[in-house]
Amino acid sequence: MALPILLWAYASGPDAGLAGVPGEASCTDCHRSSGGTGNVTVSFAGGSTYTPGTKQHLVVTITDAAQRRWGFQLTARQAAGSSTQAGSFTPGSDGYTQLVCSQANFRSQVFGNGCATNGLPVQYIEHTQAGTRNGTTGGITFAFDWTPPTAAAGNVVVYVATLAANGDNSNNGDHTYTAKYTLTPASTTPAPSIAPAGVVNAASFQATVSPGSWVTIQGSNLAGSTRSWGSADIVNGALPTALDGVSAKINGKAAYVAYISPSQINVQAPADSAQGTVPVEVTYNGTTGVAGSVQLLPVSPAFFLWNGKYAVATRADYSLVGPAGLFSGATTVPAKPGDTVILWGTGFGMTTPAVAPGVVPPSATVANVANAVTVTIGNLPAQVWGAALAPGNAGLYQVALQVPAGAPDGDLAVITTVNGVSSPSGVVLSVKQ
């Protein structure tokens, strides 16, 4: 009679020791499986390797077309001894995962933050009740971080046991899946190297940036993986200063990392009152390379580009403005004289109200550019209706303007000026009567 109560309790997360480690138990010991055509996989930011002491992001994916409620438990152990913990876990910010730690003999265990202070030697990460997401069909993911041991511990084996349940609060008709992965210590990687003139404005590709603008850093050995930030990396609206062991500093201040790859990273420049040539550093897996440099100014206005020369432009309905056939599979139509279009850029400087770099602009707030913005199209002044940060998009500005009535047909030069600083030449807008 107590069994349904026990199963309901496990919706809040099972006891320690059910991840399938040799000599321990698994969720398959409790749930009666009636087959199943799903599976479980774990993706690791470091691939099949780990770097001692460097946190990496793990994602558990469970698929099963027939089921509607989900759970898991995962742990990491040294291959030389499966009873020896390897590193520690940090639950994701979405409330779907939690910690449980225990003595090796499971006579004492604790859930949650107490794992960091109570000295229990083995640690697991698992679902919470909210994480079971009852009613979600087809599959689900759990995301969290794992920090390997600070010193090389040889091979590490990750064990995971998962449950794809039918949601009837019994132990019948559920499907269980298990997997294990062996990670090897990463070989020593060379220091990140910034290419000569490799630090540029991400829109203009000129060597002038400003606080809050988007910055592209090019080089080699800048990262060991390729990815953009995800929702789990942005906590309470604060942008991350590191992704998968990659971070950057501009004039000694932490930048906000949006994209990483071995040859390029994109960051938002931090707040800074300095002007002139400043150093730029990239750190990967604890190793900082030789600094590059860039010109830092209060503003560095530039429009993002299509095909290297066309200003990224839309109409109010987000239809694309550009010469016909600019993109395969997408409709682009030139602007007409008198049309209102929106140009998209970065580096336009301070706003009212102020939005600090590293923060996602509130979607309900219009943050207008504090300084006057002017634009010419084909050397003709355009009527600027407004310039502001795009709500919900850090460092991305939108400039609404009217194409001059006298603008001729053709690819016309577009120049914007803010606080006495003009955007680079070579940018055009396609105009046609």
Domain residue extents for the chain: 3-185, 193-296, 302-431
pLDDT, tens only, 83-96: 999 999 999 999 99
Residue 29 confidence (pLDDT)? 60
| Mean pLDDT, residues 15-30 taken together | 83
Percent of the chain with pLDDT over 70: 94
The contacts of residue 120 (CB under 8 Å, 6+ apart) are: 101, 102, 103, 108, 109, 110
Is a pLDDT exceeding 90 seen at residue 164? yes
Whether residue 27 is predicted with pLDDT greater than 90 in this model: the reply is: no
Specify the pLDDT at position 405. 96
Q: Provide mean pLDDT across the span 105-125.
A: 80
pLDDT at 188 over 60: yes
pLDDT at 7 over 70: no
What is the distance between the alpha carbons of residues 217 and 195, in angstroms, rounded to a whole number? Answer: 8
**Chain position carrying tokens 């089921």:** 67
Q: How far is it, in rounded angstroms, from Cα 91 to Cα 392?
A: 25
CB 416 within 8 A of CB 399: yes
On the 0-12 / 13-18 / 19+ scale of CB atoms within 10 A, 155 is: middle
Residue 152 has pLDDT above 80, yes or no: no
Average pLDDT along the chain: 91
The pLDDT, as a whole number, for residue 103 is 86
What does the pLDDT average to over 157-181?
A: 91
With a cut of 90, say whether residue 369 has pLDDT above it.
yes
Q: Which comes out higher in pLDDT, residue 117 or 291?
A: 291
Fold: same for 3-185 and 193-296: yes
Task: Retrieve residue 351's tokens.
Answer: 């706003």
User: Which band of pLDDT confidence, cut at 50, 70 and 90, is reported for residue 111?
Assistant: confident
What average pLDDT score do residues 93-111 get?
88
pLDDT at residue 94 in the model: 94
pLDDT over 60 at 32, yes or no: no
Give me Rg for the CA atoms of the chain: 26
Phi, psi of 8 (to 5 degrees): -65, -40
User: pLDDT class for 46, splitting at 50, 70, 90?
Assistant: confident
Residue 333: predicted pLDDT: 97
**With respect to CATH, is domain 302-431 assigned 2.60.40?**
yes
pLDDT value at 167 more than 80: yes
Q: Read off φ and ψ for residue 232, nearest 5 degrees.
A: -70, -20
Q: pLDDT at position 296, please?
A: 98
Q: For the ranges 165-179, 248-262, 375-389, which has the lowest average pLDDT? A: 165-179
pLDDT of 28 > 80? The answer is no
CATH topology for the 193-296 domain: Immunoglobulin-like (2.60.40)
Q: How far is CA 422 from CA 357, 400, 418, in A?
A: 22, 17, 6
Coil, strand, or helix at residue 34? coil
CATH of 3-185, one of 3.40.50.170, 2.60.40.680, 3.30.230.70, 2.60.40.420: 2.60.40.680
Distance, in Å, from the CA atom of 38 to the CA atom of 15, rounded to the nearest integer, reads: 24
The per-residue pLDDT for 1 is 31
What is the pLDDT averaged over residues 208-232? 96
Q: Read off the pLDDT of each residue in 68-77 and give the average, rounded to a whole number.
A: 96
Q: What is the mean pLDDT of residues 50-60?
A: 93
Asked if the model's pLDDT at residue 68 lies above 60, the reply is yes
pLDDT at residue 4, rounded to an integer:
34
Give me the percent of the chain exceeding a pLDDT of 90: 78
Nearest-angstrom CA–CA distance, 244 and 223: 8
Closest CA to 282 of 347, 216, 237: 216
With 70 as the cut, is the pLDDT of residue 12 above it? yes
- Residue 151 banded pLDDT, cuts 50, 70, 90: confident
- Length of the chain, in residues: 433
